[in-house]
Amino acid sequence: MRISKFTRTAVASAVCSGALLSVSIPAQANKALDRLSKEDTNWAMQTKDYSATHFSDMTQINAHNVQHLQPVWSFSTGVLNGHEGGPLVVDGIMYVHTPFPNNIFAIDLDQPDKILWEHKPKQNPAARAVACCDVVNRGLAYAPAGDDYPATIFQNQLDGHIVALNAKTGELLWKMENSDIAMGSTLTVAPFVAKDKVIVGSSGAELGVRGYATAYNIKDGKQAWRVYATGPDADIKLAKDFNSANPHYGQFGLGLKTWEGDAWKIGGGTNWGWYAFDPDLDMLYYGSGNPAPWNETMRPGDNKWTMTIWGRDINTGEAKFGYQKTPHDEWDYAGVNYMGLSEQLVDGKMTKLLTHPDRNGLVYTLNRENGDLVNAFKIDDTVNWVKKVDLKTGLPVRDPEFSTHMDHEAKGICPSAMGYHNQGIESYDPNKKLFFMGTNHICMDWEPFMLPYRAGQFFVGATLNMYPGPKGTLGQVKAMNSVTGKFEWEIQEKFAVWGGTTATAGDLVFYGTLDGYIKALDSRNGKELWKFKLPSGVIGHPITFGHKGKQYVAIYYGVGGWPGVGLVFDLQDPTAGLGAVGAFKELAHYTQQGGGVMVFALGY
């Protein structure tokens, strides 16, 4: 690691304030952001709050009047590629980000027709060539002012740098190199602020990158810790009591023993998805992704600790537990997806839970204190690679018919490599005790092939054909109880619901569609109450916030991402885009590129 750029302000701050730091500073920083995230006038985190509820208590817009929602202003970013994530709103300022070249705009909500400040970074254009699935970016992070740093906006750039900007002025405070694009490692993940740290993941498993997560100090960008998904225990940072509550998950030495030779060094396990944090436990939660290459024959063993739900100490990075959902993944079921925290009754006892809808088509609920597996069930009854999860061992009971070994073309695998759930952030209504999920409904045929590893080049080893699942559509929205495994309702969507959902106390669930609609459903029964056609398809998530006594809803438009690669890059071969082109061949007939944000309010 090296510091690429360091402003005089940051250097002076680090020198002058070193003696002033104390144990209370991280706690204060954490409490300030926690407080902001709970104020429904703000949307201060991509996940809305540390529990990733994506839920607002606001009721001004509700199931009775949402049909009167109208656009009130919009802003074009001037960038064509896929717009994932969502804007942030803090104290009357909206912060808008774009995919590569990763521009940022600050907009004063009192005067939304004027740009308050903008940041347009200069970065290495070679990053575009090693990005897996469009040049997306999943959003910004915000840190309130501390004793020795101003309120700060954090951004990850595709070329592997993380930057910190003064939230009021856009001034660059510091810049660090996190990833090496020469090795195929890029940054698409949203940063995540907890205590005095900003957490940054990594991308590039499809190029044989060894995945890691890194914590940087908010005030100066210095590395606090880095943890890997594969390799020696010291690199993975396993605590002395790692998995002590569940030793059958595996404990020590497995980051080497479950790989053949040095294959772990190019073994994937990147984490480009979402984080959650429990301030009471000081625990950070996230998932590590697929092993590399996709061809399972080339990497015998369980390939730990890819495909793992991690519970780590935020201060040290040490792993208290790790649960591998898909040992020796054969289908690119990268498990980096949404982590939602809740407190619910389990066997009559109020329990701290973590719920994770995985790409492999299963929903997992764990006790987030020790990793106990509470429940695991299918997102949809059409999932077929697995028969069930043995809740005692935590292991999936596979159906060998859908294995992807060499000299065999496996057909009809559900879900596809895109998963029945991918990068979207979902929502949790604590009053209804329901999660609302936007899902995919895509299956595939898979034919593996051998290939050599070359640094900075794609390292996949499989040809995929994807198509709609058995229910005839590419997407669904579902309401789910994660403890019982019961689905209250589900609706079908023509295309995958890629960006996720946002729920409100007004009995509403908002989401966007790939063909360019923002929609509102009644969260009690799934009935569609309102929709509006946007200029382009949606792969990000809605937000809702308040300003001067009025509730607003905002959403990015801008089709792209993995489902839009065929449209974005004008690809025709159905196996191109790692199989996405064939699945979404009709998308170009419904929408075209063009990115921006649109804001709605009640029109009466």
Question: Which residues are catalytically annotated?
Answer: 332
Residues 490 and 237: beta-carbon distance below 8 Å: no
Place of tokens 């007004």: 506
Residue 211, CB half-sphere, CA atoms under 13 Å: how many? 34
Place of tokens 């804001």: 599
* Cα 557 to Cα 84: distance, rounded to the nearest angstrom: 9
Residues 442 and 467: beta-carbon distance below 8 Å: yes
* Cα 418 to Cα 580: distance, rounded to the nearest angstrom: 8
Provide DSSP, 102-150.
T-EEEEETTSTTSEEEEE-----TTHHHH-SSSS-----EEE--BTTB-
DSSP state of 33: H
* Cα 600 to Cα 343: distance, rounded to the nearest angstrom: 32
Among residues 527, 522, 529, 518, the alpha carbon closest in space to that of 503 is found at 522
* Cα 380 to Cα 361: distance, rounded to the nearest angstrom: 7
Report the greatest alpha carbon distance in the chain.
67
DSSP H helical ranges for 173-295: 233-236, 254-257
User: 277-281 contacts: CB < 8 A, separation 24 or more?
Assistant: 277/50, 277/192, 277/194, 277/314, 278/50, 278/51, 278/341, 278/352, 278/368, 279/30, 279/31, 279/34, 279/50, 279/194, 281/352, 281/368, 281/369
* Cα 231 to Cα 268: distance, rounded to the nearest angstrom: 11
- 427: Cβ contacts below 8 Å, ≥ 6 apart: 53, 54, 55, 435, 436, 500, 501, 502, 503, 509
* Cα 562 to Cα 514: distance, rounded to the nearest angstrom: 11
Residues 370 and 307: beta-carbon distance below 8 Å: no
Instruction: Return the H-helix or E-strand segment holding 26.
Output: helix 24-38
Residue 404: helix, strand or coil by DSSP? coil
Question: Which residues are bridge partners to 413 per DSSP?
Answer: 444
